[in-house]
Homo-oligomer: A and B are copies of this chain.
Amino acid sequence: MKRLEDIHQLVKDGMASLDWNIAPNGLYDPIAYVLSMGGKRLRPALVLLACQLFDERIEKALYPALGFEVYHNFTLLHDDVMDKADMRRGKPTVHKKWDENTAILSGDAMIIKAYQLLAKCDASVFKSVFDAFSEAALGVCEGQQYDMEFESRTDVKLTEYLEMIRLKTAVLLAGALKAGALCGGASEKDADLIYKYGIGIGIAFQIKDDLLDVYGDEKKFGKAIGGDIFCNKKTFLLITALEKADESSRKELMAWIAKEQFDRAEKVKAVTAIYDKLDVRTDAEKAMREYYESAITALDMIAVSKTVKQPLYDLAENLLYRED
């Protein structure tokens, strides 16, 4: 059985083995660049961990794992264009380093490349792996659409928000797990259970992100606190605050959202104070824990030994207690 560290090494070596030095370089260099930026490599690790539950020969899931990572990085690339983000992980984004057309086209090519990597699995499971991937991939687009629509709304309901993050974040994690399980020969029932585990940790993961943005430790978080508050991002905290607020808090919150000229630190401090007063942090932590528990329940039900499932228990816990 492989431990988390071994899995991460396998993913790292796999990513490094992909050859992007092909013509036309104008198309493939930006892909190599995006993929060289690093990141948690969470999705490919999930594919391999899920495969391992059912089959020790996890190499058979390696290329599908890389396919999920390439797809995830495609979403970051196009999201950065749509958000007009200048930097990612401390480096200029592709549309800044090259141009927007390059970012669009190289992203398109990444989708196809992701599918081609995915197809390098056993022929017997390809169709089911393909279906799991396509459903997840489309879900991410739908989630991104909702996310963009939410930008211009201040009446987003918590249920809408949860559906958005399910699509934008959780379904790709869940799809990665399901694909890995299928590569390992899982039954449909077990594949569905691992999918549920993925949805649970995915939503918990995003709520944790929302919490870290406000209540994280700036040094450990790696970016400035309050970024979501600064740009009025509809997070679990903001939506809950708007739902819970009395007349005067609501007015104050709406005033900060509407303000076009402001001091960043002042806004972050004021909005955080409202969050504290309404105690939305507790709501978020409670919801996060519930999704975490639902993930654990699904994982418990998968008919394999506790030992082989241990890395997935650990991973869920790490997500809950992470500080970046």
Contact = CB atoms under 8 A, between A and B. Distances in A.
Interface of A: 23-24, 26-27, 78, 81-82, 101, 104-105, 107-109, 111-113, 115-116, 119, 123, 126-127, 130-131, 134, 137-138, 141-142, 144-146, 148-149
A163 to B, nearest CB: 10
A26 B148 CA distance: 10
Given A78-B105, A148-B101, A113 B138 contact: yes
A115 B115 CA distance: 9
Nearest to A113: B138
A149 B26 contact: yes
Contacts of A24: 142, 145-146, 149
B119 A104 contact: no
Contacts of A142: 23-24, 27, 109
A221 B109 CA distance: 32
For the complex, would chain A's binding face be called helix, strand, loop or mixed by DSSP majority? helix
Nearest to A27: B145
Number of copies: 2
Contacts of A26: 145, 148-149
Contact of A141 (B82, B108, B130, B149): B108
Contacts of A108: 78, 107-108, 111, 141
A111 B107 CA distance: 11
Going nearest first, the 4 A-B pairs with the smallest beta carbon separation are A27-B145, A109-B141, A82-B101, A112-B138
A126 B130 CA distance: 11
A134 B149 contact: no
B82 A104 contact: yes
A119 B134 contact: yes
5 contacts: A26-B149, A105-B145, A112-B137, A115-B134, A116-B138
Contacts of A149: 24, 26
